Structure 1
Amino acid sequence: MRNDTRNDTSNGPADVAYASRVAMLEAGLAPYAAHASQSRGRRYPEPPPAARSEFQRDRDRIVHSTAFRRLEYKTQVFVNHEGDLFRTRLTHSIEVAQIARSIARNLRVNEDLVEAISLAHDLGHTPFGHAGQDALNDCMRGHGGFEHNLQSLAVVDELEEHYGAFNGLNLCFETREGILKHCSRENARRLGDLGERFLHGRQPSIEAQIANIADEVAYNNHDVDDGLRSGLITIEQLAEVELWQTHYEAARGEFPKIEGRRLIHETVRRVINTLIVDLIEQTSRNLARYTPQSLDEVRAAPPLVAHSEGVAVQATALKRFLYANLYRHYRVMRMANKAQRVVKGLFEAFSDDPRLLPPDYQSPETEAQPRLIAHYIAGMTDRYALKEYRRLFVVPEEV
């Protein structure tokens, strides 16, 4: 690793063995890939891992974190109690990691890093999906706002409590960089080295770019699946979406007798495959055009991971269809309205009387209290937020 955040105590047998293992893992990587052996390091010094690379260690820490387990009960589009088969943030994150690893393998970049970023990208999401985030951002408007990417970073940097030597998970710079997809200039200045690329118009690693687009591929297509399962959108409506209809007709042509869920799954599978293959091919063309020979050259180049123009137009049309017909469906909007009432009600109650909070989230400093409340609410699962709301506002009936 390139900086002084590692405990380089000697060049003894353990260090030699570690270097040998990492060299073997990185032997097939392209020059523009992120190499664990050249990482910019961790915030707190640690000895090198005994049987894995630094990025593998990051992935493992994320999987074993409390925030990752909570994703099982955080919503994607549908609130957790609405059905057992709808996507949650956990299943979504696993699907993103699978798609991203497939792309990374084909582009000869670091699969372990891309998996770590993919698994961590939603750790800071609130209960109730985007409705919860919007409500919490409104509550925090006078206190620095709320953004789930920054909250994901706060989770891995400070909020997880697994290690005696430091707060958070102490992840590598490259993993933390990939988690932070968006950032205002004000927050970028506060973040130091991690925020520099937002100030200077530079790009993150290829691995981070892959995880970002894999996120879109996963949620667009799996929201179609969940939307059809729920009955909120129909096959007839989707006929107006070229990307869907092309593959739907192809699936029916090849398998005339399939119908129902099997036909839907076959179509979704084909759409995802088309998006992944196109992404690999277009990104390969971009890499051939700009010929980056290092991670620093990737950072200085334009965005390199992208769909071709035609497929990007089709993917955007699918996204717009979902926004108009699923995310703005009256039943989804009703649940979103309820969710916002719950989040805002919790925030107001805790702000009015912080003694209602668990002790760890109470602060003697008035200006620090809103952020602690936001951390507490953001960490809730859907069902825990509903339970807290009932505890605070619903008077139990006499038995």
Structure 2
Amino acid sequence: MKRGQDLVETGQHAPYASFPTRSRGRVHPTGESPTRSEFQRDRDRIIHSTAFRRLQHKTQVFLHHEGKHFRNRLTHTLEVSQMARSMARSLRLDEDLAEAVALSHDLGHTPFGHAGERVLNELMKEFGGFDHNVQALRVVTRIENRYAEHDGLNLTWETLEGILKHNGPLTDAEGRPVGRYVEEGLRAGLDDISASEDLRIDTYASLEAQVAAIADDIAYNAHDIDDALRAGLLGLGEFAEVPMVGSILAEVTARYPDIPVKRQTHEVQRRLITRAIEDVIKRSAAEIAASGVASSDDVRAAGRALVRFSEPMAEAEKGLKRFLFDRVYRHEDVMRPVRESEAVVAGLFGRYMDGASMPGRWGEAMMAAPDEAGRARIVADFIAGMTDPYALDEYERLFDARPDFR
């Protein structure tokens, strides 16, 4: 089946969707598949990658060792993927591209969640910094080495674009950094990413990538509430005045006053996800229609994100994020292991830079590195690919000590 040629006529894709048969292609040409579209092939390559499997042992918010069924990077990624597919289907976008971007969006994350990223960025400042989106591109274009003919996963241009720009452009049309990059600057490595064409860092990405990005936000909000309650950091009643959640909690407790708190919590979470997704679909459909976009290139030229919350929902979502930041992410029971994990990452980086042995190809690459900057990037790549348990094992090997985070 020549996927994409008849999708508008059959109603499967809207004209502004991304079409796999119109892809800008891959760096290394491949033969056509008789059963899968190009974006389906991207999705499958990501799922079968080593980096994807490692996500199951990388921290989301609560450290891997703590158990209690807390989310890890893999379960978070799967939740984002499910939500992205649902929204893409409703907006008549390419579900497979949305899924591919969602599945790959966290491949560049370090062990120990954002704590590891903060430390690596600080340690790498004189060498161009560290950013998990750029690192995800390094993973899928260079670090993965499963294929006989090339390094990387050889993904399509559209998936690479979505990995890098799902949160929006990095620069304006004149090349000036925008958003958080105004103060932080662009990370090193962007000019070292191989793609079939320029990734156009001054434009928004496809609608499929935008869907994956907002699915990430929805998933974060919902599962961090669940995990915070499971960890005992908060009680369900403390959400009574919290934007987005308070009104839903009132509905649930009024209708189901006698069911266990665990079931009330799930009902709140379920309704929160449903309302957020339905809000995004309704508002985004209106934004897309009002913009007049008629192709994926029109989407990139629109100059703004077209997949978004309504204004009331966006304000409520910001309020929920502030609450979670203050009461969960900065809670001492979260911050104590965060500080320990930051010390682990910093210690590993220092020892490897001082010449501590690294296994296999990493040690060989260090021997061949031309200068200190090259060695630092190899060390950052190696640490970023670690799982939480492996990082602790390496720390114990090098320091004869093992933090217990308790």
Please, what TM-score do these two structures have when normalized by structure 1? 0.90
Amino acid at match of 1:152: A
Residue matched to 2:279 = 278
Question: What is the distance in 2 between the residues matched to 1:205 and 1:358?
Answer: 39
**Equivalent in 392, 396, 399 of residue 398 of structure 2:** 392
- Partner deviation per Cα, 1:336-382 (whole Å, 9 max, x = no partner): 1000000000000000115x112412232223111110111001001
Q: Which runs of 5+ in 2 are unaligned?
A: 172-176, 178-185
Question: What is the distance in 2 between the residues matched to 1:232 and 1:195?
Answer: 46
Amino acid at match of 1:310: P
The structural deviation recorded for 1:191 is 5.0
Question: What is the distance in 2 between the residues matched to 1:243 and 1:372?
Answer: 43
The structural deviation recorded for 1:142 is 1.0
Question: What is the distance in 2 between the residues matched to 1:45 and 1:176?
Answer: 15
Amino acid at match of 2:323: F
Contact 1:189 1:195 in 2 (8 A): no
Structure 2 counterpart SS, 1:43: coil
Paired residues for 1:236-247 under 5 Å: 236-247=237-248
Residue matched to 1:117 = 101
Q: Do structure 1's residue 370 and structure 2's residue 372 form an aligned pair?
A: no
The structural deviation recorded for 1:146 is 0.6
Contact 2:243 2:317 in 1 (8 A): no
CA RMSD of aligned residues (A): 1.8
Question: What is the distance in 2 between the residues matched to 1:66 and 1:56?
Answer: 18
- Partner deviation per Cα, 1:184-203 (whole Å, 9 max, x = no partner): 6555566587665333xx21
The structural deviation recorded for 1:242 is 2.6
- Partner deviation per Cα, 1:72-104 (whole Å, 9 max, x = no partner): 000100110101400000000000000111100
Q: Do structure 1's residue 144 and structure 2's residue 128 form an aligned pair?
A: yes
Question: What is the distance in 2 between the residues matched to 1:192 and 1:392?
Answer: 35
Amino acid at match of 1:378: A
Q: Do structure 1's residue 164 and structure 2's residue 148 form an aligned pair?
A: yes
The structural deviation recorded for 1:287 is 1.1
Question: What is the distance in 2 between the residues matched to 1:24 and 1:68?
Answer: 33
Q: Do structure 1's residue 255 and structure 2's residue 256 form an aligned pair?
A: yes
Structure 1 counterpart SS, 2:200: helix
**CA 334–379 in structure 1, closer or farther in 2 if over 3 Å, else same:** same
Question: What is the distance in 2 between the residues matched to 1:84 and 1:68?
Answer: 22
Residue matched to 1:342 = 344
The structural deviation recorded for 1:212 is 0.4
**CA 203–189 in structure 1, closer or farther in 2 if over 3 Å, else same:** same
Q: Do structure 1's residue 198 and structure 2's residue 201 form an aligned pair?
A: yes
Q: Do structure 1's residue 327 and structure 2's residue 311 form an aligned pair?
A: no
Question: What is the distance in 2 between the residues matched to 1:169 and 1:241?
Answer: 43
Q: Do structure 1's residue 79 and structure 2's residue 80 form an aligned pair?
A: no
Residue matched to 2:359 = 358
- Partner deviation per Cα, 1:213-255 (whole Å, 9 max, x = no partner): 1001001110010000001122232222031111011112222
Structure 2 counterpart SS, 1:326: helix
Paired residues for 1:81-96 under 5 Å: 81-96=65-80
Amino acid at match of 2:152: G
Q: Which runs of 5+ in 1 are unaligned?
A: 1-17
The structural deviation recorded for 1:274 is 0.6
Contact 2:106 2:133 in 1 (8 A): yes
Question: What is the distance in 2 between the residues matched to 1:31 and 1:363?
Answer: 51
Contact 1:22 1:52 in 2 (8 A): no
Amino acid at match of 1:243: M
Question: What is the distance in 1 between the residues matched to 2:348 and 2:191?
Answer: 31
- Partner deviation per Cα, 1:253-302 (whole Å, 9 max, x = no partner): 22232231100000010011110000000001101111211011111112
Total equivalences in the alignment: 375
Contact 2:157 2:199 in 1 (8 A): no
**CA 135–195 in structure 1, closer or farther in 2 if over 3 Å, else same:** farther
Contact 1:42 1:173 in 2 (8 A): yes
Amino acid at match of 1:238: F
Q: Do structure 1's residue 265 and structure 2's residue 271 form an aligned pair?
A: no
Residue matched to 1:62 = 46
Amino acid at match of 2:73: R
The structural deviation recorded for 1:178 is 0.6
Residue matched to 1:12 = none
Question: What is the distance in 1 between the residues matched to 2:160 and 2:42?
Answer: 10
Amino acid at match of 1:136: L
Residue matched to 1:32 = 16
Amino acid at match of 2:39: F
The structural deviation recorded for 1:70 is 0.3
**Equivalent in 44, 47, 68 of residue 31 of structure 2:** 47
Question: What is the distance in 2 between the residues matched to 1:84 and 1:118?
Answer: 25
Amino acid at match of 2:395: Y
> Percent same amino acid at aligned positions?
47
Residue matched to 2:183 = none
Residue matched to 2:180 = none
Amino acid at match of 1:363: M
**Equivalent in 92, 108, 117 of residue 108 of structure 1:** 92
Amino acid at match of 1:376: F
**CA 91–230 in structure 1, closer or farther in 2 if over 3 Å, else same:** same
The structural deviation recorded for 1:395 is 6.6
